[in-house]
Amino acid sequence: MSSSNNIQSTQGRLPLGSDKQAGAVGFSVIIKLIFFTLAMFILPIGTYYYTINGIFEGNGTYAAGAAAGMANVVAVGYILAAVLEDKNNDKKDKKE
């Protein structure tokens, strides 16, 4: 029982001597989050209204499908950006 308490008390903490702040988020991460949040809001709605009259001639089902597809594109873009950022951080850590 004491070992589980010890594990819980050390979770989320950095090792002694570490100069990085726990939970600190870089400015570039905040900018990416804001960008993808706006993209997730604007692009699907814009796609719906653009395609309902312009491409699909009033068919709301196809326009909604296009909007859902655009939301998936934004989500995949966010995942790829996160993976690439993580790889770049790993390379920087190995150089140091």
Is 58 strand, coil or helix? coil
Q: What is the pLDDT of residues 38-86, one digit of tens each?
A: 999 999 999 999 999 999 999 999 999 999 999 999 999 999 998 988 7
Q: Contact, 81 vs 32, CB < 8 A?
A: yes
Q: Which of 74, 93, 89 is nearest to 33 (CA)?
A: 74
Say which residues have a Cβ less than 8 Å from residue 58's Cβ, sequence separation at least 6.
52
**Tell me, what's the pLDDT at 15?**
56
Whole-model pTM: value is 0.67
The torsion angle over the Cα atoms of residues 56, 58, 62 and 63, rounded to 10 degrees, is: 90
